Amino acid sequence: AQKVTQAQTEISVVEKEDVTLDCVYETRDTTYYLFWYKQPPSGELVFLIRRNSFDEQNEISGRYSWNFQKSTSSFNFTITASQVVDSAVYFCALSEILDYGGSQGNLIFGKGTKLSVKP
Protein backbone atom coordinates (compact mmCIF):
# COMPACT_ATOMS: atom_id res chain seq x y z
CA ALA A 1 0.00 0.00 0.00
CA GLN A 2 1.10 3.53 -0.64
CA LYS A 3 1.61 5.91 2.24
CA VAL A 4 3.01 9.38 2.83
CA THR A 5 4.21 10.48 6.25
CA GLN A 6 4.80 14.05 7.29
CA ALA A 7 5.97 13.71 10.87
CA GLN A 8 6.00 17.44 11.59
CA THR A 9 2.46 18.55 12.37
CA GLU A 10 3.31 22.19 13.01
CA ILE A 11 6.44 24.29 12.66
CA SER A 12 6.87 27.86 13.79
CA VAL A 13 9.80 30.00 12.67
CA VAL A 14 10.77 33.63 12.64
CA GLU A 15 11.04 35.44 9.35
CA LYS A 16 14.33 34.91 7.47
CA GLU A 17 14.97 31.57 9.12
CA ASP A 18 15.46 28.52 6.93
CA VAL A 19 13.02 25.68 7.44
CA THR A 20 12.89 22.10 6.17
CA LEU A 21 9.66 20.13 5.86
CA ASP A 22 10.12 16.37 5.95
CA CYS A 23 8.31 13.82 3.81
CA VAL A 24 8.76 10.05 3.85
CA TYR A 25 6.84 7.79 1.50
CA GLU A 26 6.11 4.10 1.01
CA THR A 27 5.28 2.42 -2.28
CA ARG A 28 5.87 -0.90 -4.01
CA ASP A 29 5.81 0.75 -7.43
CA THR A 30 9.08 1.33 -9.22
CA THR A 31 7.63 4.26 -11.13
CA TYR A 32 5.76 6.98 -9.31
CA TYR A 33 5.50 10.73 -8.85
CA LEU A 34 6.09 12.83 -5.77
CA PHE A 35 4.57 16.24 -5.22
CA TRP A 36 4.47 19.17 -2.88
CA TYR A 37 1.38 21.39 -2.63
CA LYS A 38 0.85 24.54 -0.60
CA GLN A 39 -2.51 25.34 0.98
CA PRO A 40 -2.69 28.93 2.27
CA PRO A 41 -5.44 30.01 4.69
CA SER A 42 -7.65 30.89 1.70
CA GLY A 43 -7.93 27.14 1.03
CA GLU A 44 -6.78 26.56 -2.52
CA LEU A 45 -4.18 23.89 -3.30
CA VAL A 46 -1.19 25.40 -5.04
CA PHE A 47 1.10 23.07 -6.98
CA LEU A 48 4.78 23.55 -6.13
CA ILE A 49 6.71 20.67 -7.67
CA ARG A 50 6.45 17.20 -9.17
CA ARG A 51 9.29 14.68 -9.24
CA ASN A 52 9.51 11.47 -11.26
CA SER A 53 10.91 8.49 -9.37
CA PHE A 54 13.67 8.15 -11.97
CA ASP A 55 14.89 11.68 -11.44
CA GLU A 56 16.78 12.10 -8.19
CA GLN A 57 18.26 15.44 -9.06
CA ASN A 58 17.67 18.07 -6.43
CA GLU A 59 15.80 21.12 -7.58
CA ILE A 60 15.94 24.77 -6.62
CA SER A 61 13.35 27.37 -7.47
CA GLY A 62 14.05 30.73 -5.91
CA ARG A 63 13.88 30.31 -2.13
CA TYR A 64 12.49 26.79 -2.47
CA SER A 65 14.56 23.63 -2.82
CA TRP A 66 13.75 19.95 -2.79
CA ASN A 67 15.90 16.98 -1.84
CA PHE A 68 14.77 13.62 -3.24
CA GLN A 69 16.54 10.56 -1.86
CA LYS A 70 15.22 7.23 -3.10
CA SER A 71 17.52 5.31 -0.74
CA THR A 72 15.68 6.72 2.27
CA SER A 73 12.30 7.19 0.52
CA SER A 74 12.35 10.86 1.39
CA PHE A 75 11.38 13.99 -0.48
CA ASN A 76 12.16 16.96 1.76
CA PHE A 77 11.33 20.59 1.09
CA THR A 78 13.42 23.53 2.27
CA ILE A 79 12.41 27.18 2.33
CA THR A 80 15.35 29.53 2.61
CA ALA A 81 14.93 32.93 4.26
CA SER A 82 11.29 32.29 5.10
CA GLN A 83 8.71 35.05 4.75
CA VAL A 84 5.34 35.64 6.39
CA VAL A 85 3.65 34.83 3.06
CA ASP A 86 5.07 31.30 3.32
CA SER A 87 2.67 30.61 6.20
CA ALA A 88 0.45 27.78 5.02
CA VAL A 89 -0.15 24.06 5.28
CA TYR A 90 2.21 22.12 3.05
CA PHE A 91 1.26 18.71 1.72
CA CYS A 92 3.54 16.07 0.30
CA ALA A 93 1.80 13.61 -2.04
CA LEU A 94 2.48 10.47 -4.06
CA SER A 95 0.84 9.04 -7.15
CA GLU A 96 1.35 5.91 -9.19
CA ILE A 97 1.35 5.71 -12.95
CA LEU A 98 -1.58 3.71 -14.26
CA ASP A 99 -1.22 1.10 -16.99
CA TYR A 100 -4.12 2.29 -19.10
CA GLY A 101 -3.59 5.47 -21.08
CA GLY A 102 -0.31 6.04 -19.30
CA SER A 103 -2.12 8.42 -17.00
CA GLN A 104 -1.48 9.41 -13.45
CA GLY A 105 -3.27 7.79 -10.55
CA ASN A 106 -4.93 9.65 -7.72
CA LEU A 107 -2.85 11.55 -5.21
CA ILE A 108 -2.16 10.13 -1.78
CA PHE A 109 -1.46 12.96 0.59
CA GLY A 110 0.42 13.16 3.83
CA LYS A 111 -1.32 14.76 6.81
CA GLY A 112 0.34 18.07 6.07
CA THR A 113 2.69 20.36 7.97
CA LYS A 114 1.37 23.71 9.15
CA LEU A 115 4.10 26.31 8.81
CA SER A 116 3.78 29.59 10.68
CA VAL A 117 6.28 32.30 9.88
CA LYS A 118 6.28 35.13 12.38
CA PRO A 119 7.59 38.62 11.60
Of the pair 30, 103, the CB lying nearest another protein is at 103
Of the pair 21, 108, the CB lying nearest another protein is at 108
At closest approach, how far in Å is the CB of 30 from another protein? 15
Sign of CA dihedral 58, 44, 113, 31: negative
Of the pair 94, 117, the CB lying nearest another protein is at 94
Of the pair 13, 45, the CB lying nearest another protein is at 45
At closest approach, how far in Å is the CB of 98 from another protein? 7
**CB 66, CB 76: distance < 8 Å:** yes
**CB 116, CB 12: distance < 8 Å:** yes
Binding site for another protein (CB under 8 A): 35, 37, 43-45, 47, 50, 91, 95, 97-98, 100-112
Sign of CA dihedral 88, 77, 49, 72: negative
Tell me the DSSP string of 9-30. Answer: SEEEEETT--EEE--EEE-S-S
At closest approach, how far in Å is the CB of 35 from another protein? 8
Q: Which stretches of the chain are DSSP H helices?
A: none
At closest approach, how far in Å is the CB of 15 from another protein? 25
